[in-house]
Structure 1
Amino acid sequence: MTEQPRKPFDPSTFRDKPVSFVRRSGRMTPSQERAWEESRSDFLLEIAHGPAATSVAAGETGDPAEIFGREADLIVEVGSGQGHQILSAAAARPETNFLAVEVFRAGLARTVIRAADAGLTNLRLAEVNAPELLEHYLPEGSVAEIWVFFPDPWKKAKHHKRRLISADFARIAHRALKPGGVLRLGTDWQNYADHMREVMDEAPGFERAFEGDWAERYEGRVLTAFENKGIEKGRDIRDLTYRKI
């Protein structure tokens, strides 16, 4: 009997905490491959990985002032996808530094291509698990805002433990944010929105930066495919904003 080939070992599945991503495959076109090789060094941070795929190696740290060559507010987007949100923000706010955290290589490549075409100098990318970057790589109190827009809602009840927004993530975000720093959340899944609000209302060191049940839609967020899909299906888009105190 012919032995069936084994699937490649993926150490990213062996973690004891939720991660900021779901491993996805996606091929790059030849032109994207070339652009990735030619331009990624201008944008992609060289972060050594630990034993798990996309983990941050012990002792790896980065100073935003050195990374960007200047002192400026830093905004980190967790799960930047193909970069539509962060590219728009970086172009509109050249005085601010932006860091996109994503492990989907094809999405990173598309972000690099568009960033190079736009001549952006205030954008960097990290191909690592976001909680590890926020907890271990970036200095404490170095981030002005953290954005988590439309994370995987893990709809089934048995999978809720995999949701990114948790008490532990709130702790990590609190460490990374500077005093008065802001955590912005958005989702089109009501159950997850309720979960986010419950977690963050109880999180030590945070206060609501909105009145009523939900925050107003963040005006700096462009209409991405994820949000538009939710709208088309008749789902309410829920925003939440919390400030570090």
Structure 2
Amino acid sequence: MFPDGTGPAADPAGSHHERRIRSFQPRRSRVSPGQADALRRLWPQWGLDIDGLSRIDLDQLFEGRPVVLEIGFGMGEATAQMAAADPDTGILACDVHTPGQGNLLGLAERNGLSNIRVANGDAIILLREMLAPASLAGLRVYFPDPWPKKRHHKRRLIQPEFLSLVTTRLAPGALVHCATDWEPYAEQMLEVLSAEPTLANEYSGYAPRPDFRPFTKFEGQGLDKGHVVHDLLFRRLPA
């Protein structure tokens, strides 16, 4: 799609890493002219492919800001709002949806948001191969695919194995913030997060919706269907 090499790669990790059950499906759907233009112009400066071949220097990438990893940002509107509200925090926004990547880059440029970087590819490879231990100030996972069918539950992102990995990349005091409108997934999230010994719940059960999380399109769709949105806030304990 970007033959000149200026945009995100279709399969950045290629065959470098093992095949396994993934929590996402790559979605290189139709890109608008504006999104394509943003990708071509801004990807070399603000984008990175998750190839699993080198360690990312977050201090250099974000000019010394503390960095929060956001996994799955959709079209990026909420990410841009959070970046604007907290310019002293860097957001490493990871997704595989090409139109959303272009849209977020465009939003960052139009709003002068220098604290956003867009990562393309598998968040597991990013965490395992490319981020240093205790390098993240937080993790955000908002409205991930609930994989509602029982046979697909193994594809859900929030699993014990995932938390065992991600907590090694969180600095002490880092905030893990998840949100979902799918009740059974919320219950699983609460159970799995509560069982992780390096995390402590900020509340007794679910958290009230924090002001810093913007209202999202996915949240609105869930509420229109009569779903209840649950937020979960957990803090990384000292080692």
> Is the structural similarity TM-score above 0.5?
yes
Letter in 2 for 1:33: A
Asked if 1:159 corresponds to 2:152, the answer is: yes
CA displacement at 1:46 relative to structure 2: 4.7
| Amino acid in structure 1 at the alignment position of 2:220 | N
In structure 1, the residue corresponding to 2:48 is in which secondary structure?
coil
The question of 1:65 aligning with 2:59 is answered: yes
Q: From 22, 26, 51, give the equivalent of 1:23.
A: 26
> How far 1:224 sits from its partner (Å)?
1.0
SS of structure 1 residue aligned to 2:39: helix
- State how far apart, in whole Å, the 2-side matches of 1:85 and 1:32 are: 17
Corresponding residue pairs, total: 224
The normalised TM-score by structure 1 is: 0.86
Residue 187 of structure 1: how far off its partner (Å): 0.3
Find out whether 1:194 has 2:187 as its counterpart.
Answer: yes
1:116-135 to 2 correspondences below 5 Å: 116-135=109-128
Structure exhibiting the larger radius of gyration computed from Cα positions: 1
- Whether the 8 Å CA contact 1:183–1:242 is kept in 2: the answer is yes
**1:239 counterpart (216, 231, 235):** 231
Give the C-alpha shift of residue 73 in structure 1: 1.4
Question: Within 5 Å, which residues of 2 pair with 1:90-105?
Answer: 90-105=83-98
**Identity percentage of aligned residues:** 35
Question: In structure 1, what residue type is equivalent to 2:76?
Answer: G
After superposition, where does 1:36-47 map in structure 2 within 5 Å? Answer: 36-47=39-50
| Equivalent of residue 216 in structure 2, options 195, 218, 224 | 224
Distance in 1 between the 2:116 and 2:194 partners? Answer: 31
Question: What SS class does the counterpart of residue 227 from structure 1 fall into?
Answer: helix
Asked whether the 8 Å contact 2:49–2:121 carries over to 1, the reply is no
- The alpha carbon displacement at 1:208 in A equals 0.8
Does the 8 Å contact 1:135/1:175 carry over to 2? no
Task: Provide Cα deviations, 1:172-203, integer angstroms capped at 9, x if missing partner.
Answer: 12111101111101000000001111111111
Partner of 1:87: 80
CA distance in 2 between partners of 1:186 and 1:163 (Å)? 13
TM-score normalised by length of structure 2: 0.88
Counterpart position of 2:134: 141
C-alpha displacement of 1:163: 0.6
SS in structure 1 at match of 2:117: strand
Deviating above 4 A after TM superposition, structure 1's stretches of 4 or more consecutive aligned residues are none
**Runs (5+) with no aligned partner, structure 2:** 1-10
